[in-house]
Amino acid sequence: MNMNNTINNPVFLTYMGIGKSDVRIDIQYSNNLEQQKEEAIAYLENDPDIERYTVYQNGYVQSQNVEGEWEYVRVQNGDNGVFPLEYLEGKAPTEKNDLALSYLNAVDLGKKVGDAITIIYQGKEHVFNVCGIYQDITYGGKTAKAAIDFDRKDIEGYMIYLDLREGIDIDNHVTKMRTVLPNSKITPCDAFVFQTLSSVIANMNQVQGVAAVISLMLTILITVMFLQLMMAREHSAIALKKAIGFSTRDIQIQLGIRLLVIQVLAIIAGTLLANTLGEVIFAGMLATVGVTKIKLLIAPLWAYLLCPAVQLGVVVMTVMIGTNPVGSYHIRDQIME
């Protein structure tokens, strides 16, 4: 549930190589990139509902990997301070010779923070300093950030990220912007995350549902097994209690309390493990696409109240049904035995 909640949260944008923002504008696959960019900037400058925005340009350079082969590296140029990322190591590029690498790129190129990296752009070699390593799952997890002044003909596209002022409806404003800038792809960032990870999100929703059903079935199964063992072992004691005045309900409550104590301890242990070991497991699952460290986003109402309440309720119901045979226990059966 925590994993699913994390992927569906807009904050997951920070694991896609970009900072958290409200809206993303893509300008690419066009012969009029510069004109479209200028039109978008002109509109944003005069829109009173825009709180802040920044423009990024994307291009390609070449760098040498650990095997000595030259390969293309996708580089993003723009102000990284407007929508900042959380870096695994180091910091965002601030100087002209700074370059930040995505995690998979750093592994592929054999670089770490503080290393020098040589790139080739327009046939010339340039030496940069690796200033930071960040997480990114877009473009195969292999991207970079640097203040490289790309020639217009080498710019693959522009991306504009923006925040709206407090209280402005994002979806309505995006609809308005699409009518003004019909040639640009304008997407709310939460929708962008869903579009990019739609198959993963769909699978996670299914996994969450199946996991919930299986966990409740296991809870019922184990509770029934424990009850059967307890009642078989304590048959004589239960019959004696009934003989001295304990009602069937009293004995059911006694058995139920013992099982609920175990269940409460299990819920506490499971919650702690989900919030600690769960992050490690989730990061391990995403490591192949460029994420090695992730903070699970928890929905407190579900994680700490509703789910435990459902689990405890299932145990109570199972105890009530599973202890029905106690009503037939009688001291005379024990005397006869």
Q: Is 168 left (phi over 0), alpha (psi -120 to 50) or beta?
A: beta
pLDDT tens-digit readout, 190-214? 887 777 777 777 888 888 889 999 9
CA proximity to 290, closest of 3, 12, 1, 71: 12
Contacts of 319 (CB under 8 A, 6+ apart): 223, 227, 252, 255, 256, 259
279 near 295, Cβ under 8 Å? yes
CA proximity to 25, closest of 136, 164, 144, 201: 164
Q: What is the pLDDT of residue 328?
A: 65
Give per-10-residue mean pLDDT for the chain (337 aa). 81 75 89 91 94 93 86 90 86 91 89 92 92 86 89 91 93 93 90 76 86 93 90 78 79 87 91 86 76 80 90 91 74 54
187 near 23, Cβ under 8 Å? yes
Task: List phi, psi (to 5°) of 218.
Answer: -65, -40
Q: Where are the alpha helices (DSSP H) in the chain?
A: 2-8, 33-46, 103-109, 170-180, 189-196, 198-233, 235-243, 248-286, 300-301, 307-322, 331-336
Q: What is the pLDDT of residue 329?
A: 63
Tokens 């099982």 — which residue? 259
Q: Alpha-carbon distance 158 to 38, whole Å?
A: 11
Q: What is the pLDDT of residue 93?
A: 92
Q: How far apart are the first and last CA of the chain?
A: 51
Largest CA distance in the chain: 100
Q: Where are the domains of the chain?
A: 12-196, 199-336
Q: What is the pLDDT of residue 264?
A: 92
Q: What percent of the chain has pLDDT over 70?
A: 96
